[in-house]
Structure 1
Amino acid sequence: MELDQGQLRPRRTGPPPARVDARRFRAVCPGVHVDAARPVGSRRHATLGPVVGSWRAWATDPEIRRSGSSGGVLTALASWLTESGEAVRVVGAAAAPDPRRTMSVTITDRTSALRAAGSRYAPVATAAAPAVLAQGSAVVAKPCEASALRALSGSQGPLLMSFFCAGTPNQAATDGLVTDLGLPATAPLARLRYRGHGWPGRFVATAQDGTEVDASYHDSWGKALGPTVQWRCKICPDGVGEASDITAGDLWTSDERGYPVFSESPGVSALVARTERGADVIRRAVAAGVLVAEPVDPETVAAVQPLHRRRRATLLGRLAGARLAGRRTPRYRGFGLTRLALAEWRDTVRTARGSFSRVRAVRRSTG
């Protein structure tokens, strides 16, 4: 996987194999199709997907909680799984030697878990790491990667942990934001974090000479990074990590309109168990004193995730508009998109028209 115009794309590095199993590829690639997850023992929520249990949670370790994007629960679980021997390794993502970039990493203890703490709003191919399917691995990956790994390995594969994801911004957005904030494009960086050290935390880039620039979460994600997410992310049926065993996200407080309030406070995560395996890990982590977890109704979690509610409710319109304009799209099954679209039919029609116009304009401009 290599950067191509700011996003990761596959590149052949050797001769093609004598036989290509195209059927298997189509069965696991989320760029071709995605089936909604329906693990045994779960109940299905229209926005959140399969739910075995849901909690309001945070790490008991103050440093992990502060370093994480919200309550630090995935960092705490990665640390506990490896240090307790529950997992040999956790494969995740962290800053590369050039902190403007992001790379897959192997977590083996609390120290390496802390180095990987916090969101990375940039391209990274965690699912391409060699150790993801190795014996004793657990994985923290984007929802699309979790979907591919689940389809590839089944229920007996690695413990899969994911997070609420609004899409992968273009790498150029990170580079441009650092420059716009005042650091030259050629300035070597010592550190770059997108969030954390508070909730939601600030985007902070630190040059090797100690010069530091920063931006609020609203300005960094909302104005610079979010608008550059790639097309596939905009038609994603699963930004909530349905195929994982455990999913974490922000459990924001909301205003009177139901939209998140981004005032700084101690981080709190929404924690969702998708499978009985995931629920068992969470309960044992709580019993071990790794997490504080208070049961919360799934509706409370969904209520403070307006982007995911709206994207799923109007996705059928976006897909229909794109297909009518001549663009191929993946096939999705089991997400109830027709039912959701009918319930929001006015917004669905508007979305279809907008998608048709944008796709047609792009196709015309590119010949």
Structure 2
Amino acid sequence: MGELARIKRNGLCHGCGACATAVGGDKIKMSMTSAGYLRPEEQQPLATADEEIVQKVCSGAELQHLPSTEVSYDRSWGPIVSLETGFSTDADVRYLGSSGGVISAIAIHLLETRAVDFILHTSADPNDPVGNITRPSTTRAEIIEAAGSRYAPSAPLADLEAYLSRERTFAFIGKPCDVAALRRMARSDPRIDRLIPFKISFFCAGVPSRKGALAVVEKLGVEQNELVKFSYRGRGWPGWTRATRRDGSEEKMDYNSSWGYILSPRVQFRCKICPDGTGEFADITCADAWYSEDGYPDFTERDGRSLIMARTPSGRALLDTIRQAGALSCESLPIADIRKMQPHQYNRKRAVFVRLLAMRFKAFSTPKYRGLSLLALALQSSPVWLLRNFLGTYLRLRKSESL
């Protein structure tokens, strides 16, 4: 079995598209599966050299932090140079973004100061309201148009070669797995670090199936052939999921109902064993800085607030520049407070070690993780809780016909 086939067979594929760019679009293309996830499909048999390239770039098969003396590493949250909460001082950006609009504010600053020529990011597909496309943006208006979360499959690295070949600088905004794969690709392609000086990510709870979004649309009572616009979040914090018909009428659902009850149960298996839901390989990572009620995030609608984490010195320098320009309002945050805002991310990384053990008990290949403190985190956790996670994964694998 070739490397690509092994990755897919064992449920290790994120669907980022890195392999398609690294090997070549004539050999690998990303396709939507019947289960509603993006996966690489061979267009012709892969040579041994191609399979080796897949192994080198795939963040689904392997993740590794190299030792660093310049950045401290927190076992739960990864490399941290600075930690803050804040929001965009542009009221429109703050309102339309998923939380405080900070990622949009960063992108706008980079464009308006000409630090980069364009931003490569994910946006709604104009021909498929629940779907995504990867696009370059060069103006504030384009960044704002694409603001907000997109809880559906995306493969932003699948066409990366088309943008690298322009020989113009750009910032990349993507899921943690996308950025991790981009770092792996950079080891053998020097153009990536030269042309992409800033790699930006966000906390990610997983990629739901396309079927999840369609289930939301159905629950809202909107016919698919009448749907012209679908926004997962934004226009407030956390914002409503909104489906707009051709006649302009709109149906909406609160965040807890759409994400909590429909989308999150449809998250792909690979995300359940991901130790990097927090963008550890990015320069800057942002997240919802949820207020807490009884130990759980409070989803009451209010003005947006982002958690802002610089993971590299260059990311910290960029944030300092944007703050000094008056585009961000920020205040420092103690590391211990992240757990109150993001309890799911805190627990998920602790569960990965025993979930991988369950995979091995069922004779599945597992990802290779190095430098992520997974064993240490497991040893700090409740044995009963770990056993529940082990059994939950084992039973899921037993019932699954495919991953």
Same fold by TM-score greater than 0.5: yes
The match for 1:142 is: 175
Pair 1:55 & 2:98 matched: no
Q: 1:125-146, CA deviations, whole angstroms, 9 ceiling, x for partnerless residues? A: 1122335545401100000010
- The CA distance in 1 between the partners of 2:281 and 2:172, in whole Å, is 12
The match for 1:25 is: 54
8 Å CA contact 1:82, 1:109 repeated in 2? yes
**Secondary structure at the counterpart of residue 142 of structure 2:** helix
The match for 2:350 is: 313
**Are residues 349 and 18 of structure 1, via their aligned partners in 2, closer, same or farther at CA, if it must alter by over 3 Å?**
closer
Which deviates more, 35-44 or 285-294? 35-44
1:76 to 105, 117, 120: 105
Q: 1:225-281, CA deviations, whole angstroms, 9 ceiling, x for partnerless residues? A: 01101010111010000000000000011013x210111110000000000010001
The match for 1:169 is: 208
Which deviates more, 1-10 or 124-133? 124-133
The one-letter amino acid paired with 1:108 is: T
Pair 1:126 & 2:156 matched: yes
- The CA distance in 2 between the partners of 1:264 and 1:210, in whole Å, is 24
The one-letter amino acid paired with 2:146 is: A
8 Å CA contact 2:76, 2:377 repeated in 1? no
Gap regions ≥5 residues in structure 2: 1-29
- Give 1:312 deviation, angstroms: 0.8
- The CA distance in 1 between the partners of 2:77 and 2:94, in whole Å, is 24
Pair 1:299 & 2:336 matched: yes
- Give 1:307 deviation, angstroms: 0.7
Pair 1:200 & 2:238 matched: yes
2:283 to 232, 237, 245: 245
The one-letter amino acid paired with 2:231 is: R
Which deviates more, 314-323 or 148-157? 148-157
- The CA distance in 2 between the partners of 1:317 and 1:19, in whole Å, is 33
Pair 1:106 & 2:136 matched: yes
Q: Tell me the number of residue pairs that the alignment of Structure 1 and Structure 2 aligns.
A: 361
The one-letter amino acid paired with 1:296 is: L
8 Å CA contact 2:78, 2:280 repeated in 1? yes
8 Å CA contact 2:297, 2:340 repeated in 1? no
The match for 1:329 is: 366
- Give 1:166 deviation, angstroms: 0.3
1:282 to 303, 319, 322: 319
CA RMSD for the aligned pairs?
A: 1.7
Q: 1:285-324, CA deviations, whole angstroms, 9 ceiling, x for partnerless residues? A: 1111111121112221233111111111111111111220
The match for 1:187 is: 226
**Are residues 141 and 331 of structure 1, via their aligned partners in 2, closer, same or farther at CA, if it must alter by over 3 Å?**
same
Q: 1:189-212, CA deviations, whole angstroms, 9 ceiling, x for partnerless residues? A: 1x2111111110110011111121
The match for 2:23 is: none
- TM-score scaled by length of structure 2: 0.86
**Secondary structure at the counterpart of residue 226 of structure 2:** coil
8 Å CA contact 2:227, 2:243 repeated in 1? no
**Are residues 314 and 18 of structure 1, via their aligned partners in 2, closer, same or farther at CA, if it must alter by over 3 Å?**
closer
Pair 1:347 & 2:377 matched: no
- The CA distance in 1 between the partners of 2:96 and 2:66, in whole Å, is 31
- Give 1:327 deviation, angstroms: 2.1
The one-letter amino acid paired with 1:207 is: R
- TM-score scaled by length of structure 1: 0.94
**Are residues 18 and 9 of structure 1, via their aligned partners in 2, closer, same or farther at CA, if it must alter by over 3 Å?**
closer
Gap regions ≥5 residues in structure 1: none
Which deviates more, 25-34 or 138-147? 25-34
**Are residues 325 and 247 of structure 1, via their aligned partners in 2, closer, same or farther at CA, if it must alter by over 3 Å?**
same
Pair 1:156 & 2:185 matched: no
8 Å CA contact 1:48, 1:302 repeated in 2? no
